[in-house]
Amino acid sequence: MTERHKTEWDERGGHTSEEDLRLYADGELDAQGGALVKAHLEACWSCRVKLDEVQETIADFINFRNQVLRPLVLPPPNNWRGFDSLLGRVTEAAEDRSLWAQFASRISRTFANLRALAASPLAIRFAVGLTLTVAVVAAWIVFNREPVVTAAELLRRGVESQTQKILSVSQPVIHQQIQISRKRGSLAQPETVKLETWNDLNHSRFRQSSGGYDAGSGRYGAGSGSDRTPTEPADMLIMLERIFRENRLDWRRPLSVVSFAEWRKSLRGRNEEIQRSRLADGTEALSLRTISTEPPRPGAILEATLTVRARDWSPFKQTLRVNEEAGAAEYELLETAFEVVSLAGLDPAIFPETQAANLPAATPMGAPSPIASPAPSSAFASASVSLEIETLALLSQARADLGEQVSVERTPEGALRIVGVVETEDRKQELKRALAPALGSPAVRFEIETVEEAMRRASQPAASSPVVIEQRSTSSGALPVEEELRRYLSGQGRGAGPQLDEEINRLAHRTVNSSFNIRQHAQALKRLGERFTPEQWRSFDEAARARLLGLIESQATAIRAQSHELRRSLQPIFKIDEPAIGAGAEIAGAPDLIRAINRLVELSATSDRAIQSAFTLSTEGAPGQFIQTPAFWNAIAGLEQIAGQIQTAAARLRK
Amino acid sequence: MLKEELRPRSGLETANASEAALRLETALPGFVEEAMRLEQEIIRLFEQLRAPIYEYLVIVFGHPAEAEEIVQDTFLQFYNARRAGQTIDNPKGWLFRVAHNLAINHRKRDKFFDPLDAGDFDELRRLLPDAAPGPEQSLLQREKFARLFAAMKRLSLQEKQCLHLRAEGFRYREIGEILGVSSGAVNEYLRRAMRKLKEQIKEQEND
C-alpha cells in the first residue's frame, strides 16, 4: 500500500477504498497492503459488502463478454488453413533441415556398423570428434540463418514503404515508368511496350501514355480497332487492363504492393514461396511468388511474382502468368522510374483543368492522354441518383448483378457507364433491351461487349465461345465428407457402386453451387448497401428510396430462401437437428440495415468457405472439418435469420 | 546445444567404445529432435492460444480476416525468435503483445465488425446466433446486458483493452507490457472502466 493510500485510508475513517478492494481482489497489492486489507475485511461488514460489489461488476462484465461479445466473433474466415504449410516453409528453411536430417541418420547408421565391428577406441574417438565438429558447424549454420520473411510480412513492409513515400509529399502524384513485355509460348518473341502513368491521389485523377500508340484517339481501343496489327502495344495494354480489372488488380497503380496484396487476398487457394536473389548491381531482392490453386478460368492470373528490393522493400518488378485463350501468356512489368511528386510542381499539361479532347498528339513517352473519359462529347451529362438506382434495378431484373462481370460505374464527370463482358451477342442484346429505359438518357453509356468483341479488340484469335462467368467444379476423387455423403445416400436407397458415386458427385456439385450462389447474392447486396453514402441515403426521394429498398429486399429474399434450402438439405447428412430460427427483432433504419448486410456477407463467406472445403478436393491443410462444428451451423442458420430481418426491414422501410 | 540426456541404455552394451558410440548416436538425432521439438512447441501453443488471441483481436480491432492473418504471423515471429535463441518466459504475454502491436500497425480505417457500433443492445441481440449460449436470457439478464452494453460504449479503447486482457488472466504488469504502458496506467484504466460499468448499472437500476 502506497503513502497516498495510507492517507486516504485514514481519511475514510479506516475503511478500504474501492480501488484497494479491486487491487486486493486482483491480487495486485503488495504483501503488507494485502495483509492490512485482509485483516480489515475480516473485521468490517461494510467493506466486505463493497468487495462483493466489486466482484459483482467483474462478474457482470465476464458474463457480457462470454454470452454476448464472444458468440459474435465469427470463426476465422480461412479456418487457420495454411498455417501448417506456412510454418513448414519457415521451419524447413529451404531444404537445409531435411538435408541435415538425412546426414544425421546416415552418420548414426555408420556408427551402428562401426559398433558392430567393435572398432578400436581410438578410431571411435576420432570419429566422434570429427562428427561433433561437423554437427557444431552445421548447427551454427542452421541457427545463424537470417530469419525467413513471410509473405504477409513482405507485403506489409512493401505497403509501409510505399505509403511512407506517398505521405512524405503534399498533394502527391505518383509517376511511374514501366516497361511491359508479353510472351506467348516459349518460341514467341516477347513484345514490349513502355507505359507512363501519373496518379493524382488527392483528386483521383489518372493519366497514362504509352510508347507507340496514338494518344490522339483519346483511348486505346476507343477508336477504330480493326486496322490494328496484333503487335500494336495498345492491344497489349487493353488486354492487360482487362486482366487487371478481372483479377482485382489496380490498373491505376500497375506496379504496387497494395494492388498485389488485394489480388492475393481474393484467391480462394494459393501456394507461395519467397526467394532471395542478387541483382546485377549487387543489391539484394526478395521475390514473392504466389500460385493460385483455384480452378483456372479464362483470363485468370495463374501465378504472379512480386519482386521488391530488400534494402527498402520497394517493388520494382511484377510478372503475371495469365490463362489466355491461346494458352498461358507471361507479362512482365518492370519499373524503370518511380517518383512521388507534388501536384504543385507538375507540368500543368498533365492534368489540364478541362477534359481536353484535343491534346497534342503525344510523342512516345510524351504528354499523357486522358483515359478516364472515353467520350468527351457527353462529358458533362451527369446522371441523377434516381437514374443510377433505376439502372441497377434494370440490371438486377436481367439477373446481371451477380458476379462481377457487369457493373455500373460513375465517371468523374458523373455519367454512368455500364461496363462488362458477356458471353454471347444474344445476351448483350438482351441486356441492351432490358436497360432501354435508362439508355434513353445521354448520361448513361452502354459499354458491354461480348467475349468475342473483347478478344477481337485485343487482336486475339477468337476461340469457340469461352465461358467467362465464374463457375465452380468439384473434382473427382474422395471428398472430405465423402463418408457422410455415402452413408446418407445409400441409406436413402440411392443405389451402389458407380451409380452411388454419380449421386455423390451430383449432390456435392449442387451444394457447392448453391452456396456460391448465396455468396454472390450477398455480395450483390453488399454492393447495393455500399454504393451510396449515408448522406445520399438521406437525400433520396421517396421513389428512389423505395426502388433501392426493393432491390435489397429481393436479394435478401433470395438469400433467405436459398440458405434455408441449403441448410435443410445438409442437416440430415450430418445428422443435425432443426434449429429454432427466430424472426429476430426489427432493424430500425438504414445504418442498421447496412450493418446487418455486412454481417450477412461475413456469414455467407464463412459458410461458403466451409462448404467449399468440405465438398471439393483441396490442396491445403486438413479441410472439411469445420462443417462438423456448431460454429458452421450457427453461421448458416444466422444467414437465414439475418436475411429474413433484412427482408422484413426493407419491406417495412419502403412503405 | 546438444542434448545431454541419454536414452536408457540396454544392459548388454558395456564396452566403453560401444558406450561412446551409443552416446553419439542418441546425441545426433537429438539435435534434429531439438528443431522438431520447437516446431511441436509452436503447433501446441498455436492450438492452445490462437482462439483467445483471435477473439481479443476481433473484439477490440474488428476484421476477422485480418485478425486471422495477424495471429498466424505472430506465431511465425515467435518461432523465429525462439530459433534465434531468444528465451521467452511468458509465451502467452509475448504472443498477445506482438499480436496487439501488429494489429495496431495493420489497423484498417474501416472496421468490418464492431459489436459496440450497434445502436442499442436489442440491435446487437439480433445478430446473436440463436444457438449461442444464453438465447433464453431472462428479462432481468437482458436488461442488465443492455445496461452493460451502454456502459461498454462509454469506455475508451485502452479501458476496453485492459478489461479484456484482465479477463484473459493477465496481471497488471503483463497488461502494461502488452499495451506498452506502466502498470500504474493499467490500474488507472481499470479503475475508470470499473467505475463506468458500475455507475451505468447502478444508475439505471435506480431509475
pLDDT value at residue A218: 37
* Interface contact B72-A135, CB threshold 8 A: no
Q: Which residues in A lie closer than 8 A to residue B134 (C-beta atoms)? A: 67-68
pLDDT value at residue A654: 77
Question: What do you get for the CA distance between the two ends of chain A, in Å?
Answer: 64
pLDDT digits (tens, 9 = 90+) for A561-602: 889 889 888 888 888 887 777 766 677 777 788 888 888 888
| Mean pLDDT across B10-22 | 43
Query: Which residue in B43, B166, B198 is closest to A57 by CB distance?
Result: B198
Q: Which residues in B lie closer than 8 A to residue A583 (C-beta atoms)? A: none
From CA B27, how far away is CA A241, in angstroms rounded? 59
Which grid cell sits at B52? 483467445
pLDDT value at residue A599: 83
CB-based contacts of A506: which residues, under 8 Å, 6+ apart?
none
Residue A41 has pLDDT above 80, yes or no: yes
- A199 and A162 in contact (C-beta within 8 Å)? no
Question: What do you get for the CA distance between the two ends of chain B, in Å?
Answer: 68
* Interface contact B76-A150, CB threshold 8 A: yes
- A484 and A574 in contact (C-beta within 8 Å)? yes
Range scoring the smallest mean pLDDT among A136-140, A203-207, A485-489: A136-140
Is any Cβ of chain A less than 8 angstroms from the Cβ of B145?
A: yes
Q: Is A280 helix (H, G, I), strand (E, B) or coil?
A: coil
pLDDT value at residue B192: 94
Instruction: Decide: pTM greater than 0.90.
Output: no
Q: Is A582 helix (H, G, I), strand (E, B) or coil?
A: coil
pLDDT value at residue B95: 95
**Cα nearest neighbour of A128 on chain B:** B24
From CA B65, how far away is CA B53, in angstroms rounded? 13
Residue B17 has pLDDT above 50, yes or no: no
pLDDT value at residue A470: 41
**Cα nearest neighbour of B47 on chain A:** A80
From CA A560, how far away is CA A188, in angstroms rounded? 52
From CA A106, how far away is CA B34, in angstroms rounded? 18
Query: Which residue in B46, B106, B167 is closest to A65 by CB distance?
Result: B167
Between A640 and B105, the higher pLDDT residue: A640
Query: Which residue in A27, A69, A638 is closest to B129 by CB distance?
Result: A638
pLDDT value at residue B18: 47
Is any Cβ of chain A less than 8 angstroms from the Cβ of B83?
A: yes
| Mean pLDDT across A403-423 | 77
For B129-143, b/e burial (b = at least 16 CB within 10 A) is bebbeeeebeeeeee
Q: Which residues in A lie closer than 8 A to residue B69 (C-beta atoms)? A: 152
The residue type at B3: K
Chain B residues 4-23 with a CB less than 8 Å from chain A: 15-18, 20-22
Is any Cβ of chain A less than 8 angstroms from the Cβ of B156?
A: no
Q: Which residues in A lie closer than 8 A to residue B124 (C-beta atoms)? A: 68, 72
Residue B50 has pLDDT above 80, yes or no: yes
Is any Cβ of chain A less than 8 angstroms from the Cβ of B29?
A: yes
Shortest Cα distance from B97 to chain A (angstroms)? 17
Residue B107's pLDDT band (cuts 50, 70, 90): low
Q: Which residues in B lie closer than 8 A to residue A597 (C-beta atoms)? A: none
- A187 and A285 in contact (C-beta within 8 Å)? no
- A236 and A182 in contact (C-beta within 8 Å)? yes
Is any Cβ of chain A less than 8 angstroms from the Cβ of B106?
A: yes
Dihedral sign computed on CA atoms, order B180, B181, B182, B188 = negative
* Interface contact B58-A588, CB threshold 8 A: no
pLDDT value at residue A306: 92
pLDDT value at residue A365: 38
Shortest Cα distance from B199 to chain A (angstroms)? 10
ipTM of the prediction: 0.77
Query: Which residue in B21, B42, B194 is closest to A22 by CB distance?
Result: B194
Nearest alpha carbon to residue A154 among A241, A244, A89: A89
- A519 and A604 in contact (C-beta within 8 Å)? yes
Q: Which residues in A lie closer than 8 A to residue B118 (C-beta atoms)? A: 592, 595
Residue B20 has pLDDT above 70, yes or no: no
pLDDT value at residue A28: 92
Residue A100 has pLDDT above 70, yes or no: no
Query: Which residue in B58, B122, B133 is closest to A73 by CB distance?
Result: B58
Residue A623, phi then psi, degrees to nearest 5:
-85, 180
pLDDT digits (tens, 9 = 90+) for B126-140: 666 544 444 455 677
From CA A613, how far away is CA A480, in angstroms rounded? 8
From CA A385, how far away is CA A409, in angstroms rounded? 12
Q: Which residues in A lie closer than 8 A to residue B190 (C-beta atoms)? A: 22
Residue B38 has pLDDT above 70, yes or no: yes
Nearest alpha carbon to residue B170 among B192, B155, B190: B190
Is any Cβ of chain A less than 8 angstroms from the Cβ of B35?
A: yes
pLDDT value at residue B176: 94
Query: Which residue in B79, B117, B148 is closest to A64 by CB distance?
Result: B148
Chain centre to alpha carbon of residue B113? 19
Query: Which residue in A66, A124, A633 is closest to B20 by CB distance?
Result: A124
* Mean per-residue pLDDT of chain A: 75
pLDDT digits (tens, 9 = 90+) for B150-189: 888 888 889 999 999 999 999 999 999 999 999 999 999 9
Range scoring the smallest mean pLDDT among A293-302, A394-403, A432-441: A394-403
Between A207 and B89, the higher pLDDT residue: B89
Dihedral sign computed on CA atoms, order A379, A385, A390, A395 = positive
pLDDT digits (tens, 9 = 90+) for A445-496: 888 887 777 777 655 443 433 333 344 444 445 677 888 888 888 887 777 7
Q: Is A306 helix (H, G, I), strand (E, B) or coil?
A: strand
* Interface contact A68-B145, CB threshold 8 A: yes
* Interface contact A596-B126, CB threshold 8 A: yes
Q: Which residues in B lie closer than 8 A to residue A80 (C-beta atoms)? A: 50, 68, 72
Shortest Cα distance from B90 to chain A (angstroms)? 18
Chain centre to alpha carbon of residue A379? 33
Query: Which residue in A65, A90, A599 is closest to B76 by CB distance?
Result: A90
* HSE toward the beta carbon, residue A474, CA cutoff 13 A: 29
pLDDT value at residue A479: 76
What is the share, in percent, of chain B residues with pLDDT greater than 90? 30
* Interface contact A61-B24, CB threshold 8 A: no
What is the share, in percent, of chain A residues with pLDDT greater than 70? 75
What is the share, in percent, of chain A residues with pLDDT greater than 90? 7
* Interface contact B119-A588, CB threshold 8 A: yes
| Mean pLDDT across B36-40 | 79
Residue B191 has pLDDT above 90, yes or no: yes
* Interface contact A107-B172, CB threshold 8 A: no
